[in-house]
Structure 1
Amino acid sequence: MSFVDTFLNIDVIMRVLPMLWRGIWNTLALAGATLTVGAIAGVLMCLIRLYAAKPFRLLAVAYIDVFRAIPILVLLVLIYYALPFMGLRFSPFVSAVLALSLVFSAFTAEVFRAGIQAIPKGQTEAAESLGLPFRIIIIKVILPQAFRIAIPPHTSNSVAIAKDTSLASVVAMPDLLKQATDAQALTANPSPLIAAALIYLIVLLPAVRLVSYLENRFRTN
């Protein structure tokens, strides 16, 4: 059997294309849910770490440190396989979103903390001198500038977590990698895995270029 017949077999890829197509949509749904939940939770955790009462700040620090340190695969296995023994059972999709979002929110919190702390304190003091309430200062003064600073690293983290959605196949989540693995077993040919790799490349390469563009744009402005 030639290299093309083994790894780039068009007939095999066309036969399993419906499976891969379903996997693409599941992967995009998983990535979208993770990025949304993780970003919101991360910003909230960042604000708690910086501005809440000391006990809550310590809890936020513990949350961020733990979920930045723990591997996603370990967390995913714990959520899907261990929590049912405690009476908590989640579907593969919810388990994957929860595991990925916890890790992503921890990194997001650190990115936005760095963005907020890069803002000169004089701006906050000026807003306070104008009598603006703390909530308005955060929403109108702090966060818009922090977003601008944090966009490049946050986008980079988003691309990384989007790639890590492939780990969801461990809990039988029918994402692109799981579908490709099943297709490989059905056809006894690795071509579906190569096709899945190419699909990941097509989807994520523009995002990688977006990261470079944002880094250059906000470095010069």
Structure 2
Amino acid sequence: ARGRFLSELKRDSDEERSAWNELAASLKMEYPSYTPLLAKILECIVSGSPDQDKISHNQRIIDAANEVIESIDQEELLKYLSIKSDPEDEEAEKIKKKMEVTRDQLAEALYQKGLALADAEFSEVDQPVVTSVAVSGTDFDVPSDEPDIFEETLKELKKWVDIKSTKYCMLLVVRERRCGRLGTALKVLTNMIDGEAEPPKKKLYDLKIQLLDQIGWTHVAVYERQWMPVRFPT
């Protein structure tokens, strides 16, 4: 109930955001390592408008995602999910459903962490580099003496879900883009748009046009732009 209350609180002004942050911190102290609460806080941070600069907002998402991830005993989760429960055993079915919810919360945390990590990298394109990797028509850096946290996060996500599914494959688009494989990124994104059960969101087409521009397919990008008012009338 308190988690729902968090999502209903307004965060339009500095005062409202400050009050929300205080409440979230208070709830975390009252219910430490309570995954459903931490997952709700992450959801609110992701859905809310940045109250700081973009890099700081991404860091808040990463921190909140890490709290969700660290609250889950992944070995225990894997054990329960690997056991085939008896459908007639109501208690076992309840535990299984609870574990499936926890798995989904873990997957969402890993997914949002991956997106935020990549977005933070794109925001730091102009900073000095150690190892240069072509990304979206520019170069961005992956320090050679540091682990690639994005790739590690993607690897962890693969353990729990099919990252080629529509729900998670945006991370594949991001991965190909950050590695400079813009054509593959466009292909994955196009398949993602075509596979959407509901009408695809405008941001997916915006990204498609951006990739077309970066690849140099200007005529196709112009065609897609002409269709935008039809797809998304104001």
TM, length-normalised to structure 1:
0.27
RCO greater where, 1 or 2, for CA within 8 Å and sep 6 or more? 1
Structure with the largest fraction of helix: 1
Larger Cα Rg: Structure 1 or Structure 2?
A: 1
Q: Give the TM-score normalised by the residue count of structure 2.
A: 0.26
